[in-house]
Each structure stands twice: as structure tokens, then as C-alpha cells.
A and B are shown apart, each in its own frame.
Chain A
Amino acid sequence: MTFDEIRSQAASEWEALEHSDKPRIYIGTATCGRASGALTVLEAIKSELAKHNIEATIINVGCIGLCYAEPLVDIAKPGRPRICYASVTPKMVPKLIEDYLVNDNPCPELALGTIGDGSVDGIPKLFDLPMLKPQVRVVLRNCGLIDPENIKHYIATGGYSGLARALGMKSEEVIEEVKASGLRGRGGAGFPTGRKWEFCRNSPGEVKYIICNADEGDPGAFMNRSLLEGDPHAMLEGILIGAYAIGATEGYIYIRAEYPLAIERLEVALRQIEEYGLIGDNILGSDFSFHIKIKQGAGAFVCGEETALMASIEGKRGMPCPRPPFPAQSGLWGKPTNINNVGTLGHVSAILQRGVKWYAQYGTEKCKGTKVFALAGKVNRTGLIEVPMGITLKEIIYGVGGGIPDGKGLKAVQTGGPSGGLLPPSLLDLPVDYEELTKAGSIMGSGGMIVLDEDNCIVETAKFFLSFTQAESCGKCVPCRVGTKQMLEMLEDICNGKGKPEDIELLENLANDIKDGSLCALGGTAPNPVLTSIRYFRDEYEEHVAKKRCPAAFCQSLVTYYIDPEKCEGCMICARNCPAEAILGDKRMVHVIDQDKCIKCGVCSDVCPPKFEAVKKVSGEEISVPSEPIPVKKASKD
């Protein structure tokens, strides 16, 4: 089949599905959906449909990014737009099916929004909602909308037209087009993709490799997983275009073994493109041949670094090597090699499909296009978002994310994961692009964005990131291996109230030495969370050191739990739940925490009924409570 035949076949099948006289039910069954119970919802839908004898087409889709509202189920009746229902439970299913499919009541109170042409009374358009309106979906264009295991869905929505177009161009022209688009690597460093390809293209050698880096190891980031689970072809089309451009005949996808569903969907996608002649020998009748292998990473954060990743593919310890020679000169098995992140390749397929002009309308002068972030932490609408470069942190956190839960104040936002920085609320108007984030001491990174509220301790958060990089240091360079350990010990001391006044300056000096003396980006960026947090939140460090007080009352060694005798009604709930049996008291007796036994786990505070709110947590304050249980003074409200 020629590509035009494939495309018209896919288009007519898609058309038939969209105009089918059967209702369609779309359910998000990516890892995040499954974790929220999507599979039990799916079972409930099937049995309910059978009960009412309704014939419907069920389509498994990836994640649309609204993680806070999972599981998501869209129902489309013939001739109507899809209606997206949020936080669907198996209990809600009978009502949804009966009310909407049987009785034609679309249940606006349960709906989040509509997708597609047409409208339904009382339900807004999904993409007009505040969390989606500021978004521009380039990489995530199909996620949550199409069946990732059906290549025809991808082709019908423009898929592989970029590859077909590229194959009609000279490879130099493809590189020029990517250069003109202004695309920069989405793995974090932001190197121009077209130039990277050009280096590899111009390197002498018959055999060249292209590698897709899907070793997403940053704790708090799941952009790659979501794309590979929701639309694997978007990346595959990108790697095929890249391979053609640089003249690679073989490729690897290096993916975390912890992503079984993404691997499964990639394997399905690879079988499908093989069937359609989109991979293999003489792709689409051209003289371009390309083969690809999936390599599962075995769990080492440092393998995100290019030279370490290649060592790992070669079956060695994943330790970085000095550059030069750059991978483009001598990479995998000593051959010229090009490595791109999953997201970068997702951009490439979109650029070749829709053209440079369309792409370059998004973003800023120096940073074109969009960036996908995994927005999580203390924010109302957590999820996977794609925003144009240059958007401000404020627009992301308060617009897309809907602000901080429980009316708490924002303390900091962390971008770039353990290599990035902790930015204060005073930088909320910072436009998000590579240069601005670097200037502020952070990095763009692969796209983790974690929001911290007033209950989070800055020093403890910096310690958390450093404990991660310290554990993941491969051990090759002394400054990284020993230095991060020393920094971690100092931070532990500070969090435990054993910090010395000179520690803060010593931390800064050591951090700068590690940055300068490390071979790869892991060591080179590991001190960033500490450096930025000292830069913007020095007072918090000083409080820990000088006053032995954690301003957020987070650091366990520095907090004290106590029971407010004015509020305790002697209900016994905390005493029964205390794992350390540290709470003394009886029915209608004010409970008292035995501070010697207390392990500061916070369970008492979790279980104390909200109407009493008697358990208090303080740091660096004297408490005055009875030394043993006394009768409750006031009359019980019950």
C-alpha cells in the first residue's frame, strides 16, 4: 500500500467511527487512570451495557492530563460531542448509563466538559476550562483522544504524514526545517535539535545510530510515560524522521523497566508500523531502511546522561565518560550516535506534519514551541500539562493548576527535579523558558514541576533532592561521590537541630566545588536545590541552625505534638490509633502525649476529629499542658 492508500483507509475508518450509530465510550486507562481504578470502572461499564442490552464501542485511550479528575470516562452519543465525566467510580456507572444512554439526560452535574463539535446544554467545552484553556497541545495532541493501540487513529489525525513528507525531502532539508523551527532538546539541556542532528549527519561513518531516551528517572516527572502510553506513534514518527535526517540505519529506545504499560504499547506500535511498511527495509518504497530495538533500563538515574546511557546499552555499568568525543562523533559501539528525548521526538513529528510556521507561532524568541510539565505537589489540579514557552509560573500554578489546596500559601515551586532549583513566590512572574530558569538558578529539566506550600520545609526539601542525587551518583568523580555525601550529612544535621553556624557557608562553598569538579550533569547540577534554597530562603536555614526551629514545623526532630486541653473532648480515638502507645487518657479525660514515647508520626493529628482539632504541632515553642490526664472541663457537644 502507498501512504496515500493507508491514509485514506484510516480516514474512512475514523469517519465511520465518528459517525457510527452506536454510542462510543472512551476511557482513560493509562497507568495513572488504572491507579485511580479505571479498570474496575471499565468492568462496571461493560456489565451495565450488557444489562441494558446496549451495543456501544468502547475505546481505551491514554491520559488527557487531568490526573486530579481520574478516572475519566467520555461518552459520545451519535451526532453529539463527547461528554467527559470526571472522577468516575463503579457506583456512578449505572446512573451514567441509565440517565444518558437510556434516558438521554447528559447529567451536567457529573460532567467536566464536552470534546468535539457541537454543544450540550449546561456543559462547558472541555478545552475552554481554566486548566485547559492556557494549554497548547503539540506533543500531547492525541493523548486521551485516540486509541494508542490503533495506528489508524494516529494516521487519521495526521500521523505519519510528517514522515511521508520528510522522505520526499533531502535529509539536509529535513535538518534545515528542524533548525528553522527553533526546536531545542526537551530532555532538559535545551540544545538545538537541528544542530545536533547536523553534527551526527556530518560525522564520517557508514553505520550511525539514533537513540530515544525514555529513561525518565526524575522523581516527580511522568511526561515520557504518559506520551508513550497515550500516543506512542508520535515519538516513533519523530525517531524515524530523525533517523532519515542523520542517516541512521539502526535505533534504540532506552526505556525504564518500571514502565511496563509504556513498553507494552510501544511493542504494539512497533508491530503495527512494521505491518504498514513504515519501518524496516525500504520504508514507504524509498531507499531508506531503519530498524529499532527496545532496551529496558535497569534502574539508574545517571543513565539519563548520554554517555552513561550508551554504556548501559552496551551492557556495562552506566557511568558517564568525558566529552569530547561527543556521541555524534563516537557514540554507541564507537559509531556516530544521536540521542533525543521522547518529548523532543514528539515535537519533531508535529513540526514535520504541520510545518515550521505553525510551530514557531508558539513560544518566545529564543524558545519556540511548547513544554510539557508534570504539575504535582500542593496544587489543586495536578496533572500533565503542555504550555507555550514563556508562560509565567503564576499562570501555570494559579491558572492551569487552580492554586494551592486548603487555602494555604505558596512557599516555593521546584522545576527541573533534583537538578533544578527551589524558586520563591517573588519569582511567580518569571516567564518559563530555558534562559530565564537558568538565570534564576534553576533549570527547565525534563519537566517536573512540584509546588510546595507553607507546610513544607525548604531545608528538608533540599535534603530530599540531595539524598536522591547522592544515592544515584555513579561514584566516578570524587567531588560528586564524596561531596554530595558531605553536603547531605550537613543538611541532616541542620534538619535534626545539630547545625552549626558555619554550615551554611560551607554548604555553599562545597556546592560550588561539586558543580565545577564533576564530569557529568548529575554532579554538575546536584547542588542546585541547595544553592537556590540558600539563595532565596536563607532565613529558613538560619532558623534551623540558630533557633533549632523548623518554621514549617515539618522536620521531625524539631517538632512537638501536643493535645490542646481546651479542645480535647477525651474521645480516645487518638490514643487507640497511636502506634507508639504514647497517648495517656481515658474517656472524657484530656489526653496527654508522653513526649518520651512519641515517635512524631502524626497519626494522632490525622485521626483527631475535625470538629475538635485538638492535636497541635509546633516547633521551637514552649508548650504548657497538664502532665497527666485531667477531666474534660467543658460539656460535651454530643
Chain B
Amino acid sequence: MLIMREQLSPILAPYSGQQGALIPILQEVQKELGYLPEEAISEIAQFVGLSDSEVYGVATFYAQFKFTPIGKKVVNVCRGTACHVRGADRILQELERQLGIKPGETTEDLEYSLESIACFGSCALAPVVVINKTVYGRMTPTKVRQILAEGKEQQ
């Protein structure tokens, strides 16, 4: 708890006394820690003067916030309309099969997290998969396997 306080106080300090700071704080803390562990939530709650459950109430409302550690490689499957009509479901199913996890989950070795996002906004390249910052356009299930195999080789 103390370690958490030390780690978070430089992030929290600039927000002291600010109205409506909870969401930016949660965003900053997640940027730092990768996710929002229980101790961080308590620390934030104390700082903004709310109960833990109120902070959880806000954090769980928004898709951006994670409560478990995420993998080194975050595989985002775009499920926007343009990707959907061009077969995003098949891409997601192949990723689920290959990684053995469902969207929102992380592999046990913390290598991969699988996420589906509502729209990445690269509709012209549909269907799109984004792994960390690399965008893979015009995906097929076969390309999914190739890309994952290349990733494994690099490890």
C-alpha cells in the first residue's frame, strides 16, 4: 500500500483540488501501471474523496479500464461495421483458436492479450487487426496464423 502511494503520488498531485479529475487520473494511472490494481483504486479513492466502490463504479463503466495485467502484445481486432461485413468474425475466431483466449483475456504467459474494439477507423483496410501499434489490413484467417507464427519466431 505504501509502495503504491509512493508510486502514484507524482501522478495524483497535479490533480489536487481539480473538478472532474477522476477519469483523467484513472487514465494516467493505467498508463503507468498497465492496469488498475485494487491497491491503486483504493489510493485513488482516498485522493479524490470517494469510496472504493464509487471509483470502481466509474472505472468499470468505461471500456478503456483494465483490472488485470495485460500481455506484452495486445491484439486488437476491429469489429466496426466495415470490418464486420468483410469478415471480422472469422478473424476473431481464428485468433481465439490460435491464442486459446477470448476477447478481454490474456494468455497465461502474459505474452498476448486479445481485445475487440468497436471501430479503429481504418475502414478502408477492413478487416483490420492491430497488434500493439502495428496495423494489419485486409486480414484473412490464414494471415492471422502467419503473423502469429512470425511473432513466435521473434521471441
User: Which residues of A does B touch, CB under 8 Å?
Assistant: 31-32, 34-36, 67-68, 70, 216-222, 225, 257-259, 295-296, 298-301, 312-319, 333, 374, 376-378, 382-383, 414, 417, 448, 450, 452, 456, 461, 464-465, 468, 472, 474, 577, 579, 599, 601-603, 606-607
Contacts and interface: CB of A to CB of B under 8 A. Distances in A.
B81 A219 contact: yes
Contacts of B48: 315
Nearest to B62: A298
Contacts of B102: none
A358 B135 CA distance: 41
A317 B57 contact: yes
B128 A219 contact: no
A601 B96 CA distance: 12
Contacts of B93: 599, 601
Which of B118, B120, B125, B140 has the most A CB atoms < 10 Å from its CB? B118
A579 B84 contact: no
Contact of A315 (B22, B87, B135): B22
Nearest to B143: A606
Contact of B85 (A34, A313, A378): A378
Nearest to A65: B124
B64 interface: yes
Interface string B11-51: 00000000111111011000000000000000000001000
* Smallest CB-CB A-B distances: 3 pairs: A67-B124, A220-B81, A299-B63
Given A257-B27, A298-B26, A32 B82 contact: no
A448 B117 CA distance: 17
12 contacts: A219-B81, A219-B84, A219-B119, A296-B24, A298-B27, A314-B20, A319-B61, A333-B19, A376-B123, A417-B81, A602-B141, A606-B141
A219 B82 CA distance: 8
Contacts of B71: none
Contact of B20 (A315, A382, A601, A606): A315
Contact of B94 (A316, A474, A601): A601
Given A220-B82, A450-B85, A318 B62 contact: yes
Given A298-B62, A606-B142, A448 B121 contact: no
A318 B26 CA distance: 15
Contacts of B81: 219-220, 376-377, 414, 417, 448, 450, 464-465
B97 interface: yes
Contacts of A32: 121-122, 124-125
B65 interface: yes
Contacts of B90: 601-602
Contacts of A218: 119
A312 B64 CA distance: 13
B79 to A, nearest CB: 7
Contacts of A452: 85
A34 B76 CA distance: 17
Nearest to A411: B85
A218 B19 CA distance: 29
A220 B137 contact: no
Contacts of A468: 118
A418 to B, nearest CB: 8
Contact of B142 (A314, A316, A383, A607): A607
Nearest to A418: B81
Contact of A257 (B64, B79, B125, B128): B64
Contacts of A579: 94, 97, 141, 145
Given A318-B62, A382-B82, A258 B27 contact: no
A369 to B, nearest CB: 24
Contact of B123 (A34, A67, A217, A606): A67
Contacts of B97: 579
B58 interface: yes
Interface string B87-123: 1001001100100000000000000000001111111
B68 to A, nearest CB: 17
A35 B122 contact: yes
Contacts of B128: 35
Contacts of B121: 31-32, 216, 221-222, 225, 258-259
Given A298-B26, A382-B123, A461-B85, 8 more contacts: A36-B125, A68-B124, A296-B27, A298-B63, A314-B20, A333-B19, A464-B81, A602-B87
A221 B81 CA distance: 9
Given A35-B128, A315-B58, A377 B118 contact: no
A603 B141 contact: yes
A178 to B, nearest CB: 29
A436 B141 CA distance: 40
A296 B31 CA distance: 13
A217 B119 CA distance: 7
B124 to A, nearest CB: 3
B58 A317 contact: yes
B126 interface: yes
B85 A298 contact: no
A414 B58 CA distance: 33
A222 B65 CA distance: 23
Contacts of B122: 31-32, 35, 67, 222
B113 to A, nearest CB: 15
A352 B50 CA distance: 45
Contacts of A257: 27, 64
A450 B93 CA distance: 23
A603 B82 CA distance: 20
Contacts of A313: 20
Nearest to A451: B85
A259 B61 CA distance: 19
A577 B124 contact: no
Contacts of B87: 602
Given A34-B135, A35-B125, A220-B81, A315 B21 contact: yes
Given A258-B117, A300-B63, A378-B85, A222 B142 contact: no
Contacts of B65: 298
Contacts of A465: 81
Contacts of B26: 298
Which of A216, A315, A474 has the most B CB atoms < 10 Å from its CB? A315
Contacts of B140: 603, 606
